């Protein structure tokens, strides 16, 4: 386990993370596509092995059948006187031929054999073994498979295409789809070679043994495409309601719930129940926020009246020391009531989101600070974000006020990063101890340096700013600058 993450961990986990989609739609699609492909490939491999085994058995049986017929033809021509052989061959051709196309030559005719066909080589081996078994006294056999358009049938490079069509039309298959031809040559006596050519019982046996032929792959590809399309439609119908639920949850978390549409109660039973539960939760949260706002306003209003009466009564006390103690306690109580009311008012800003030009918004804050005699440096960047203008102005104003209260001067910078816009507000004060940084967002927490610089503050500004920024989908980061002072960085989602 890699904790904290290191460069080695990132190297080990980087490439699987890039291959694994981030969305549920992408993940379900990838899993279903991969599962279908693996299943299809496994089934195709099993089917291909069975098809090859079946083709091998059928080809061996056909090879023995052809070899026995060839052995009988060879015996017949050997038994004829040499002068009658050509006459018999001519009569056979005029009668339409027999099982074999037969010719006599004075030497072996070279044949351009089909290469790279294991099944054809196996058939040739079986035919040769069967011929040697049936004709043990033969001097030998020359066997090969060849395509008709390249087949030589006689000496002087006489090819099959040069022969009259009547000689071969009933023996060899030349049109429309040529089939491989088995050629058997043997020397029946010195200087006389018998040439025989024939088709296998299944002329296209080489095609039947190929599981990846186009006519076989096309139906499988079509069925796979249909199944994948249906799977994608099902996955999309499942994930689309989840995307709507995600958008609604994001709008609720960022305070844009008034813009969100009601979740459609359609789809599967589980999603309908989830949508109803989410809608009920959203209504409860809305009522809670409204009740909280009314409660805070009521409490603040109701408390300020008795506080004012107590202040007036404390003026009637004769003991000055006791009167001062009463006034200090009442002032502290009044400050706490005002702070609670300010926290509610600044956090619950009801306005519509819009495109905000940061140069204009920050420029107004900078000019106001400069008119008050503060030193603020700012360079326009021409960047736009989407948010609630008044709320964002209050958040950035709180950060700028802190920087001016606790530092000699402030610097504001705006920059774009991938997917986000960064607004930095840096002061040139003494900074903050590292162990105190996490506590700066707590209400009423003020460091000693802060109390010296701004004794009228209540320690609510950073908490209010963080709440507003998080409602915009961003985050507020505090860190000490390397050159001194506190650097507050606001990261907001990019407008695009």
276 CB contacts (<8 Å, ≥6 apart)? 265
pLDDT tens-digit map of 86-97? 888 888 777 766
pLDDT of residue 130: 92
Length of the chain: 496
Q: Region 145-155: what's the mean pLDDT?
A: 85
Domain 269-345, CATH: 1.10.287
User: Global pTM?
Assistant: 0.45
Sign of the dihedral defined by the CA atoms of residues 331, 332, 335, 341, in that order: negative
Phi first, then psi: give them for residue 163, nearest 5 degrees.
Answer: -85, 155
Nearest alpha carbon to residue 412 among 436, 438, 383: 383
The yes or no reply on domain 351-493 and CATH 3.30.565.10 is: yes
Give the count of beta carbons closer than 10 Å to the beta carbon of residue 200. Answer: 22
Domain edges within the chain: 51-208, 269-345, 351-493
Residue 112 burial (10 A CB sphere; 0-12, 13-18, 19+)? exposed
Is the pLDDT confidence value at 438 over 50? yes
pLDDT above 70 (res 210): no
Q: What is the pLDDT of residue 297?
A: 67
Q: Measured between alpha carbons, how far is 293 from 345 in angstroms, rounded to an integer? A: 8
Residue found by looking up tokens 């009569």 in the block: 91
- Cα–Cα distance, 73 to 65 (Å, whole number): 13
Show Cβ contacts of residue 110 under 8 Å, excluding neighbours closer than 6 positions: 152
Closest among 355, 461, 356, 357 to 400, alpha carbons compared: 461
State the pLDDT at residue 253: 65
* pLDDT of 343 over the 80 cut: no
Q: How, if at all, do strands 158-159 and 181-189 pair?
A: unpaired
Averaged pLDDT, 268-280 = 79
pLDDT in the model for residue 10:
44
DSSP letter for each residue of 192-235? EEEEEEE--SSTTHHHHT-TT-HHHHHHHHHHHHHHHHHHHHHH
Going from the C-alpha of 243 to that of each of 64, 149, 275, 276, the distances in angstroms are: 67, 63, 12, 15
Q: Residue 287 burial (CB < 10 Å; 0-12/13-18/19+)? A: exposed
In angstroms, the CA 472 to CA 494 distance is: 11
323 neighbors 315 (Cβ within 8 angstroms): yes
> Two tokens at 211?
């599981």
User: What pLDDT is recorded for position 7?
Assistant: 42
Q: Read off the pLDDT of residues 294-331 as tens digits, 9 standing for 90 and up.
A: 766 666 666 777 777 777 777 777 777 777 777 777 77
Helix (DSSP H) and strand (DSSP E) numbers for the chain: 13, 13
**pLDDT at position 64:** 92
Residue 352: per-residue pLDDT: 74
3-state secondary structure of 410: strand
Please tell me which residue, 475 or 307, carries the higher pLDDT value: 475
Q: What is the pLDDT of residue 9?
A: 47
Lowest mean pLDDT among 26-30, 66-70, 120-124, 280-284: 26-30
Q: Which pLDDT does position 236 carry in this prediction? A: 78
With beta carbons less than 8 A apart as the criterion, state whether 443 and 384 touch. no
Q: Which of 226-230, 281-285, 403-407, 486-490 has the highest mean pLDDT?
A: 486-490
For the chain, the maximum distance between any two Cα atoms, rounded to a whole number of angstroms, is 159
Torsion angle defined by CA atoms of residues 76, 80, 83 and 84, in that order, rounded to the nearest 10 degrees: -60
Question: Which of 109, 106, 93 has its CA nearest to residue 144?
Answer: 109
Angle at 331 between CA 326 and CA 335, to 5 degrees: 150
């Amino acid at each position: 386990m890699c904790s904290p993450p290191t460069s080695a961990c990132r190297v080990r986990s980087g490439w699987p993370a890039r291959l694994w989609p981030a969305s549920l739609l992408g993940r379900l699609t990838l899993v279903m596509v991969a599962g279908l492909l693996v299943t299809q490939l496994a089934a195709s491999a099993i089917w291909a092995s069975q098809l090859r085994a079946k083709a091998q058995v059928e080809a061996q049986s056909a090879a023995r059948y052809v070899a026995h017929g060839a052995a009988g033809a060879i015996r017949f021509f050997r038994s004829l006187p040499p002068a009658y052989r050509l006459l018999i061959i001519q009569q056979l051709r005029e009668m339409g031929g027999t099982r074999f196309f037969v010719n006599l030559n004075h030497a072996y005719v070279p044949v351009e054999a089909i290469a790279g066909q294991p099944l054809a080589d196996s058939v040739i081996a079986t035919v040769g073994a069967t011929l040697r078994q049936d004709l043990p006294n033969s001097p030998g056999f020359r066997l090969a498979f060849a395509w008709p358009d390249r087949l030589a049938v006689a000496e002087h490079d006489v090819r099959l295409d040069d022969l009259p069509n009547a000689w071969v039309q009933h023996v060899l298959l030349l049109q429309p789809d040529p089939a491989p031809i088995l050629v058997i040559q043997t020397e029946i006596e010195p200087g006389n070679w018998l040439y025989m050519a024939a088709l296998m019982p299944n002329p296209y046996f080489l095609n039947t043994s190929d599981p990846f032929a186009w006519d076989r792959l096309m139906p499988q590809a079509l069925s796979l495409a249909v199944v994948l399309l249906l799977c994608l439609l099902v996955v999309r119908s499942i994930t689309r309601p989840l995307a709507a639920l995600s958008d609604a949850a994001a709008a609720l978390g960022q305070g844009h719930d008034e813009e969100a549409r009601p979740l459609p109660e359609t789809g599967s039973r589980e999603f309908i129940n989830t949508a109803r539960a989410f809608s009920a939760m959203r209504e409860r949260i809305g009522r809670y926020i409204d009740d909280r706002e009314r409660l805070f306003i009521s409490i603040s209003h109701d408390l300020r009246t008795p506080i004012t009466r107590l202040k007036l009564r404390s003026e009637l006390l004769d003991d000055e020391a006791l009167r001062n103690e009463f006034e200090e306690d009442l002032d502290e109580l009044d400050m706490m009531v005002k702070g609670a009311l300010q926290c509610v008012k600044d956090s619950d800003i009801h306005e519509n989101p819009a495109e905000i030009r940061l140069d204009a918004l920050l420029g107004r804050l900078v000019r106001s600070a400069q008119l008050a005699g503060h030193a603020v440096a700012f360079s326009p960047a021409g960047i736009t974000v989407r948010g609630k203008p008044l709320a964002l102005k209050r958040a950035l104003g709180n950060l700028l006020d802190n920087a001016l209260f606790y530092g000699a001067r402030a610097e504001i910078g705006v920059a774009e990063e991938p997917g986000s816009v960064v607004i930095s507000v840096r002061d040139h004060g003494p900074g903050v101890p590292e162990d105190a940084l996490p506590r700066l967002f707590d209400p009423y927490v003020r460091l000693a340096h802060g109390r010296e610089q701004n004794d009228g503050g209540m320690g609510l500004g950073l908490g209010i700013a963080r709440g507003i920024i998080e409602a915009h989908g961003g985050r507020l980061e505090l860190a000490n600058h390397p050159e001194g002072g506190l650097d507050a960085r606001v990261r907001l989602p990019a407008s695009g």
